[in-house]
Amino acid sequence: MKIAALAGGVGGAKLAHGLAQILPQKKLTIIVNTGDDFEYLGLSISPDLDTVCYTLAGLANPVTGWGRIDETWNTFDNIAKLGGQTWFRLGDRDLGTHLERTFRRKRGDKLSTITQDFCHAWSVKHRILPMTDEPVYTMVNTLEQGELPFQEYFVHQRCKPTVSGFRFDGVEKARPAPGVLEAINNADAVVFCPSNPWVSIDPILTVAGLRPACEAKPVVAVSPIIGGQALKGPAAKMYRELSIQPSALAVARHYADLLDGFVFDKVDSDSNLSIQEMNITTLLTNSIMEDMAGRRRLAKDVIDFVNTLL
Ligand code: FO1
């Protein structure tokens, strides 16, 4: 069975890692959100791509989920001493990634090519593709401060401003990166990882042709909301601020027509009937991925479930 998985953020990277443990390299393509990308200290940063790549490479920081394991902070400590910007923390090892990516982008290399080369260097066997090679910037509309660039909202302001909507700047001009449409068209099913629907999966679906390509396939989403909370990040807060009660049901409604199957946690069994009434087949399971075994277990549950839908 061939799977195209859409992912962004730490939760998405964890399930992508689990899927990569189970599926052979030719059977899985991971398509990653680049709406979080931004320029910082003159560097091209692609946080979600790096999180997914580092996670699959076994190089991710196990505490934060982003950045590198065994990191040191000498460069950043020095920048802080010099009075520079430090609200977005880049470790010494991680900085090497951004320096090399920035150098290659300035010389004209595509983000997808650079990602492929980095994955090769890190011995990541499965294909990881940015959603697009063109710049797309997620903008968060807030009640207090109007529109904020994503990382300004997310990291600098710690998701404190009240969200009133989102815009994916540049997406009208963005084409899917090489291999993205083919991966979806050739897949037996598409899996939406337990990533933030608003700012991780929606930007991917907004790139030209990707939503219709998903519509033509069986789609299974895994809920990032468990018991009304997001395990990590502001997804639940975003739903509340947009006047939607955060729940597995809200996530199913978010993707609605796209979904054939929905995987969510047993603690949310009270949503089951309402989701089934939307003509969506459901799987209730333990969706918390506490360790590597948990990632593999959830990935196996998802794959077995997808098989029942085909
Ligand atoms: N998230 C933070 O909350 N604080 C940081 O200082 C931070 C630095 C950082 C550096 C590299 C990287 O790849 C990711 C980093 N993140 C940081 C995470 C990242 O901004 C978000 O988790 C994602 O954009 C949301 O999916």
Stretch 206-228: mean pLDDT, rounded? 98
How do residues 87-117 score in pLDDT, each as one tens digit? 999 999 999 999 999 999 999 999 999 999 9
The three-state secondary structure class of 118 is helix
pTM value surpassing 0.85: yes
Token couple for 48 = 């979600």
The pair phi, psi for residue 29, each rounded to 5°, is -125, 135
Nearest CA to ligand 1 atom 1: 155
CA of 33 to the centre of ligand 1 (A): 13
194 lines ligand 1 (CB under 6 A): no
How do residues 10-61 score in pLDDT, each as one tens digit? 999 999 999 999 999 999 999 999 999 999 999 999 999 999 999 999 999 9
The pair phi, psi for residue 91, each rounded to 5°, is -75, 170
Nearest CA to ligand 1 atom 3: 155
Exposed / middle / buried, residue 99 (Cβ in 10 Å: 0-12, 13-18, 19+): middle
Nearest CA to ligand 1 atom 22: 9
Stretch 259-288: mean pLDDT, rounded? 98
% of residues, the chain, pLDDT over 90? 99
CA distance 148 to 139: 6
90 lines ligand 1 (CB under 6 A): yes
Answer whether residue 164 shows pLDDT above 90. yes
Confidence of residue 1 (pLDDT cuts 50, 70, 90): very high
What CATH number has the domain spanning 3-136+172-309? 3.40.50.10680
Stretch 214-237: mean pLDDT, rounded? 96
State the chain's mean pLDDT as an integer.
97
CA distance 33 to 55: 15
Answer whether residue 231 shows pLDDT above 90. no
Asked if 194 contacts 287 with a C-beta cutoff of 8 angstroms, the reply is yes
198 lines ligand 1 (CB under 6 A): no
67 lines ligand 1 (CB under 6 A): yes
Q: For the chain, give every domain's residue range.
A: 3-136+172-309
Among 37, 41, 66, 128, say which to mutate for ligand 1: greatest number of ligand atoms within 8 Å of CB. 66
50 lines ligand 1 (CB under 6 A): yes
Stretch 65-94: mean pLDDT, rounded? 97
CA of 303 to the centre of ligand 1 (A): 29
pLDDT recorded at residue 92: 98
